[in-house]
Each structure stands twice: as C-alpha cells, then as structure tokens.
Structure 1
C-alpha cells in the first residue's frame, strides 16, 4: 500500500487522509457515547478460596449498579484494591453479561493477595499503633481506637467499544484491641 501512495494524485492522497481522520473520529465518538454517570459498586461479600504457596485468594462479590438509562454490556472485569495508599489485592474475571438500565447485578471476582502485601499492611498497622509513620500517636496503648485505614477500589468492566471504569474510596475502621 505504501508503494502505491506516491503514485496517486495529491488530491486523492489528501482525500484519503481526511477519510482516515474522519473514520478515526467517528470510532472515538462511538466509544465515548456511553458517557453518563459512573457505575456504583458495593462489596457485598468476601469468601476465601484456594490459593497457592504464600498467596491468599478470595472471591469478592460486588454489587454493580447502573444509574444510566442505557444498559451496560460487559465482557470481563478487573479490580485493584489499595489499603493505606499501598497496593494490596488484584483480580480479574472473564465474566460476561449486561447490567440493565437503572439496574444492578452481583459479580464474583477472584482476587489475589501476596504474602508480601499482607506483611506490608501488618507492619504499617503495627507502626501506626506504636507511633510509627502511619499517623499513630506515640504511646498509643491497647484498648485505644486505631486510626481509620484508607482504601481505594478501582477497576473496569471491559466492553466491545471501550471500558466502563469505576472507583470507590473510603476508610475502614478496625475494632479496638483489648
């Protein structure tokens, strides 16, 4: 094809370039048509599943709500969970389906947590309780309330014309140590 282009008249090459540009813009427009409000999600359950070696595996059940007036077709889901501003767990699922307009569905996503992630989190919590770098005050004693742990859950629902991304953030409060 590239050997033929120099032989074509310049007006034809310009028209071809404009056609390619218009096609690219049209495809980008189709991918962006979904728009609307972001999906909402809630973790509705966590169950342990078999892992390998030093990893922990869990099946996370997510209730995904579609607040838009068009359905969302998805083909795969990916999630990432950060705790205390550190990566903690990741997971993917080849689940396929549709979330109806103004509807919801529950998805199961297997996630993996490495032993190193668990150790980093435990070290951070212990450091926070003893006045370490995570916001604990010096002299925190057993029975005192711990600082809330910030989390960020982000992910995407894959689709034919692009992905629908979601984000949830907040804090987790651990019970008092006695």
Structure 2
C-alpha cells in the first residue's frame, strides 16, 4: 500500500511539472479607424497586436475590450473572432467599439473640471476567450498628452 501511495505521489509531482505557468499575452493598440455609427453613437475599429511570448500557440475565441479615460468609461466592444497566435509569434485583430454620446459628455465635463491638466490617464482592459473555463486577460495603461494631441489637430 505504501508503494502505491509513493507511486501516486510521484505521478502527481511529475504532472505538476507539465503545467508550468505561461507568460501573459502582450497586447498593443496599433490603430483606431472610424466606422459608421448610428444616431448619437460613435463607432471605431480598434486594431490590436497580440504577441505570444510562450513556446506553445494560443488559441482564442472571442475578444472583449473596454476603455476608461480619466477614470471614466468611454468605449466598449466585443467580437466573436477566433484564431491562433503562433508560438513566439504575433497576430493583428480588429475589434469594433462603441462610444455613446453620454460617454463623450462625461469626458468633456471631466476635462472641464480639470482644466489645468496636461495629460489624461487611460486604461484599456480586455479579454481573449480561450474556451469555457479560461480567458487571457490583458491591460494597457498610459496617459494622453493633451498638449501634443491638441497640436496635432
């Protein structure tokens, strides 16, 4: 009986070595293009570059995004795209997002309240669906320089 328990323990330890943690997927916004909207909403196509720093491919089935600017929700979108990011590879995907008129109004009011601000923080949260029990979540943080952005337009 002891030999059976010892063998079972060795098998468990060996199987744990197979499940080493994977590095997170790197996601960068590489472009934003306008899409036709309806009534009081603005639609955009957000292009993302997914980079897989692991030695196994990552399959995904579905993408969800939400963008918060200046600690206020601005845009959200989903897509039922599916595909694979090759091992040590990258892929480009496009996710349509919607911005409501009320979100734009909230952002404008927030900027008016912080009139002396020279930059605005943003956070992009997202999720790559990887089956019924798994998802690869990602987050990109940064700030938008209002002086540079305003000068460009």
- TM-score band, normalised by the shorter chain? 0.7 to 0.9
Q: Which of 125, 130, 149 is 2:120 aligned to?
A: 149
Instruction: Provide the secondary structure at the position in 2 that maps to 1:126.
Output: helix
C-alpha RMSD of the superposition: 1.9
Q: Is the 8 A contact 2:51 2:90 kept in 1?
A: yes
Instruction: Provide the secondary structure at the position in 2 that maps to 1:81.
Output: strand
Instruction: Provide the secondary structure at the position in 1 that maps to 2:50.
Output: strand
Instruction: Provide the secondary structure at the position in 1 that maps to 2:113.
Output: helix
Moved over 2 A (4+): 175-178
Aligned to 1:46: 32
Cα drift, residue 34 of structure 1: 7.8
| TM-score, structure 2 normalization | 0.80
Cα drift, residue 67 of structure 1: 1.1
Higher RCO, Cα 8 Å, sep 6+? 2
Give unmatched runs, 5+ long, in structure 1: 1-28, 130-135, 137-145
Q: Structure 1 residue 64 and structure 2 residue 50: aligned? A: yes
Give 1:66-85 correspondences, 5 Å limit: 66-85=52-71
Cα drift, residue 56 of structure 1: 0.4
Q: Which of 62, 80, 88 is 1:94 aligned to?
A: 80
Which of the two has greater strand per residue? Answer: 2
| TM-score, structure 1 normalization | 0.69
| CA deviation string 1:110-131 (max 9, x = no partner) | 00001000011111112211xx
Q: Structure 1 residue 173 and structure 2 residue 145: aligned? A: yes
Instruction: Provide the secondary structure at the position in 2 that maps to 1:53.
Output: coil
Give unmatched runs, 5+ long, in structure 2: 1-14
